[in-house]
Amino acid sequence: MNQRLRGLFQVGVLLALALAMTACTKDDVPPTEPAGKIRFTFHHYVDGAPLVTDELVYMNAAGNEYLITEVQWFLSDVVLHRNGKADIAIGEWEKIHYVDHDIPTTMEWPVFDPLPPGTYDSISFRFGIASEDNITLMYVNPPERDMFWPVWLGGGYHYMKLNGKWKRPDDFVASFDYHLGIGQIYASNVIVVDSITGFVDNSVRVGLPASSFTITDGGTTEMDIVMNIEEWFREPHVIDLNAIGGYTMQNQEVMQQIRENAANVFTLGLTKKGGER
């Protein structure tokens, strides 16, 4: 066989192999399962209107005039409920999300997980981080890193920092740190680190009322999750900033009340159902 014929023969063999591989590849690719997506957008409201920061324009249920400077919090373990049961847990790529009122990129969460199309009864999530996932030093970069909870108080991270100022009875405008995280049990109610006998996971699962929604194949369902800040102070426990001195850390009694108030704080809106990506 001369060189020219040898070259043509080799080209023919390569083409035959390429066609064979292409045919096998097409046959081996499984059919795409129907799937849709969810994107959450977070909002902070007070008394039905978007939060205005750094202005002393609010009054809580206890009659405290107050302002908000920062709202920072974690949610995790989102669950979609269908047919009266917990059907799908979101968390293949990211199960914990950080929200910061001052950082616009955190105010949206395009969920990675592909989700089966259909109508769902409701949605729920954990406010904060469950103890088994709340691991000290798991965040090494800000802003999440700066949510650390002191190791000697249980470690991990704050569930929420709601910071601001309020007008005391003497008209002095003082700072408050309305924080929620791991609680402590103290021997004989002596509030010093050496008397800690145990810790309390104050994270809480929150169900969103009137949250039926539909996921469509190839679509993205947009969901607005609203934190109604006034409810942190109102129901079922009216919390008076004067009574607690503006601080909640190392006060498990107050943190338990905040935890129970979380049930009324969040509402859900749907801006678009099954829209195209």
**79 pairs with which residues across the strands?**
89, 124
For position 190, what pLDDT does the model report?
77
Whether residue 86 sits in one domain with residue 22: no
Residues in the chain: 277
Same domain, 59 and 124: yes
**Single-letter residue type at 121:** D
Please count the other Cβ atoms lying within 10 Å of the Cβ belonging to residue 80.
Answer: 22
Instruction: Let me know whether 21 and 156 are in one domain.
Output: no
- Shared domain for 157 and 221, answered yes or no, is yes
Instruction: Please indicate, yes or no, whether residues 206 and 94 belong to a single structural domain of this protein.
Output: yes
The pLDDT of residue 113: 87
Contact present, 40 and 223 (Cβ < 8 Å): yes
Nearest to 63 by CA among 230, 226, 256: 230
Task: Kindly state whether residues 57 and 172 are assigned to the same domain.
Answer: yes
Interior/surface letters 15-27, b for 16+ CB within 10 angstroms, e for the rest: eeeeeeeeeeeee
Which three-class secondary structure state does DSSP give residue 64? coil
pLDDT at residue 269, rounded to an integer: 73
Structure confidence at residue 31 (pLDDT): 59
CB atoms within 10 A of CB 248: 24
Same domain, 131 and 152: yes
121 and 242 assigned to the same domain: yes
pLDDT average per 10 residues of sequence, the chain (277 residues): 47 46 49 84 95 97 98 96 82 87 97 90 94 96 97 96 98 97 90 90 92 91 95 97 95 97 88 36
Domains in the chain, number:
2
pLDDT at 39: 94
Domain carrying residue 14: 1-30
Do residue 167 and residue 63 come from a single domain? yes
Q: Is the pTM of this model over 0.75?
A: yes
Host H or E run for residue 214: strand 213-215
